[in-house]
Structure 1
Amino acid sequence: MATLDILIPHYNDPEGLMLTLRSISRQTWQGERRIVIADDGSRPDLRKAVAAIAEHSDLAIEVVFNEINRGRPYTRNVLLDSIESPYVAWLDAGDEWYPKKLDLQFDQVQLVESAHTGRPFWVTCNYDWAWSGRRKKKNTQRTEQDQLKALLIGSTLRAYLWTLLGPAQSFKNVGWFDERLPRLQDLDYFIRFVTHGGMIKDARHDGTLCVYHKSDIGRDADEIRACNAHIFDKHRVLFNRYGESFLAMRLYNMEMLAARFAQNNKNAKLARRYMWRAFKTRPKAFLGHALRKGLKA
């Protein structure tokens, strides 16, 4: 039996998958690993490529194929069902771990378990954002704060599964990923984990341990906004907990995020519509943003 299951959703990106698998091969942690790839209905030729990659890899890889494209949350639920090992880590096809990630996170796992808190936990880590065409940017996961509030803000503690390592049961206990969320299902999953008593720990390492190859291109601004609205409605009582100003700022940020996606996908009309909605929600915040942007230009 392996010690660790590494769960990877994949769709139409065998080159990105190979990049991801190479980063797993370079890990300094040498415990028993079992890799499960769930292919979400890729094109027939790319499905064959995934099968060939798994067959010829030196890693222990199992592949599950969705017959048709069902979306990321459904595929992550398939991966949840596949768990066999006592510990679990996630890694999206196209992203990478740096070599010491698992080693340092397992060190923290041992410390948390030796404390016998009895609470479910995950270990996260700092990560790099590698925007297409830009230099890498370090992002720090600050866990010593009100974790629920920080997740709802999404600045100093972000809901990214591929930063995590934890006991398998701590993931199973959260339940299914919400299949009504083609985007942002990570955030909903993290919120449910924390509100049911889970705690997020950091890897006690100041450097970054993984890299997210990030791009807005091809992503639907309306879909992003609809997913944010669904999370807001689903967890409205949690947003309300922090007061009216907090609530208004979260709604403002939802509009601005959708505007960013529209702008980066060359839809100026849609971007203006979301910016107008952001202005009506928080005029001072919007004008401050516009002023800072103007000064940088």
Structure 2
Amino acid sequence: MATLDILIPHFNDPEALALSLRSVRRQTWQGDLRVVVADDGSRPDIKKAVSAMAEHSEIKIDVLFNPVNRGRPYTRNVLLDAIDSDYVAWLDAGDEWYPKKLAEQFDRVELVESSHMGTPFWVTCNYDWAWVGRRKKKIVQKTDQDQAKALLIGSSLRAYLWTLLGPAQSFKDVGWFDERLPRLQDLDYFIRFVLHGGSIKNVREDGTFCVYHKSDVGRDAEEIRACNTYIFDKHRVLFNRYGDSFKAMRLYNMEMLAARFAQNNRSGKLARQYMWRAFKARPRAFLNHVRKNGLKA
């Protein structure tokens, strides 16, 4: 049995998958690992390319194929079922790990497990946020705070699976990814983990250990807003815990995020609709935003 399973969903982008696999091969950590790629109904020619990539790889790669496209949460559930190791890490096709990521995270795992805390845990890490066409920006994962509240805010602690490594059971115990969430299923998964007693740790080193290649192009603003609405309704009790002002600010941010997606995909009319809704949720916050940034979401 391998020590670590690295779980990667993939759809119609073998170049992005190759980029991610190269970053796995460059890891300084020397333990046994297995990569599991779940292809979500890619074109036949791309499926052949993925199979060839796995066959000729220097590391062990198992490839699973969905017969048709079922979406990322379904594919992540396929990957959950495929876990066969003591530890698990996630990586999205197109994102990269820096060489010391696994080594630093396993150092933290060893410390946590030696303390015999007995509570489920994941180890995250700081990362670089790389917008297409812009310079990288370091994002720090601050874990020493109310983690449920921080995840809902989404600025100082962000719900990205590809930052994580942890015991396999800590992922299995959360249950399935919610297949009604084509987007933001990471956030729902993190919230459920924390609400059921899980704790997120960070590595001890202060550097960045992976990079998120970020672009809004082709992302559906209405889908993003609908997923945020679903999460708000699903976890309404948690939102209520932090009061009306907190809820109003979260609703404001949901509208502004949807406006950003619409604007970056040249849907100006839709962006203005979301901005108007943001203004109604938090007028002062919206006007402060306009003073600083104009009408940019």
Q: Residues of 1 paired with 2:15 and 2:193: CA distance?
A: 32
Partner residue, 2:61: 61
The alpha carbon displacement at 1:205 in A equals 1.4
Partner residue, 1:285: 285
Partner residue, 1:183: 183
Between stretches 29-38 and 287-296, larger displacement belongs to 287-296
The alpha carbon displacement at 1:294 in A equals 3.6
Question: Is residue 2:88 matched to residue 1:88?
Answer: yes
Output the amino acid matched with 1:15.
E
Q: Residues of 2 paired with 1:115 and 1:276: CA distance?
A: 51
Partner residue, 1:246: 246
Q: How does 1:228-239 map to 2 (within 5 A)?
A: 228-239=228-239
Question: Is residue 2:70 matched to residue 1:70?
Answer: yes
Partner residue, 2:174: 174
Partner residue, 1:160: 160
Q: How does 1:133-212 map to 2 (within 5 A)?
A: 133-212=133-212
TM (norm. structure 2) is: 0.99
Q: Residues of 2 paired with 1:50 and 1:172: CA distance?
A: 26
Q: Residues of 2 paired with 1:40 and 1:291: CA distance?
A: 44
Output the amino acid matched with 1:175.
G
Q: Deviations over 1:233-280 (max 9, x none)?
A: 000000000001000000000000000000000000000000000001
Partner residue, 1:44: 44
Q: Percent of counterpart pairs with the same letter?
A: 79
Output the amino acid matched with 1:210.
C
Q: Residues of 2 paired with 1:3 and 1:15: CA distance?
A: 27
Partner residue, 1:269: 269
Q: Residues of 1 paired with 2:9 and 2:171: CA distance?
A: 16
Q: Residues of 1 paired with 2:28 and 2:199: CA distance?
A: 26
Q: Deviations over 1:93-130 (max 9, x none)?
A: 00000000000000000000001010000000000111
**Secondary structure of 2:35's aligned partner:** strand
- Count matched residues: 296
Output the amino acid matched with 2:100.
K
**Secondary structure of 1:7's aligned partner:** strand
**Secondary structure of 1:208's aligned partner:** coil
Runs of 4+ in 1 over 6 A off after TM superposition: none
**Secondary structure of 2:70's aligned partner:** coil
Q: Residues of 2 paired with 1:118 and 1:57: CA distance?
A: 37
Output the amino acid matched with 2:262.
A
The alpha carbon displacement at 1:295 in A equals 11
User: For residues 295 and 255 of structure 1, do their structure 2 counterparts lie closer, same or farther at Cα, with a shift above 3 Å needed?
Assistant: closer
Q: Residues of 2 paired with 1:61 and 1:75: CA distance?
A: 16
Q: Deviations over 1:143-165 (max 9, x none)?
A: 00000000000000000000000
Q: Residues of 2 paired with 1:270 and 1:16: CA distance?
A: 30
Partner residue, 1:225: 225
Q: Residues of 1 paired with 2:294 and 2:177: CA distance?
A: 40
Q: Residues of 2 paired with 1:205 and 1:219: CA distance?
A: 34
Q: Kindly report the root-mean-square deviation, in angstroms, between the aligned alpha carbons of the 2 structures.
A: 1.0
TM (norm. structure 1) is: 0.99
Partner residue, 2:5: 5
Q: Residues of 2 paired with 1:55 and 1:134: CA distance?
A: 35
Partner residue, 1:35: 35
User: For residues 243 and 54 of structure 1, do their structure 2 counterparts lie closer, same or farther at Cα, with a shift above 3 Å needed?
Assistant: same
Q: Residues of 1 paired with 2:186 and 2:229: CA distance?
A: 15
Output the amino acid matched with 2:131.
W
Q: Residues of 2 paired with 1:252 and 1:63: CA distance?
A: 41
Show structure 1 runs of 5+ residues with no match: none
The alpha carbon displacement at 1:198 in A equals 0.1
Q: Deviations over 1:182-241 (max 9, x none)?
A: 000000000000000000000111110000111100010000000000000000000000
Partner residue, 1:15: 15
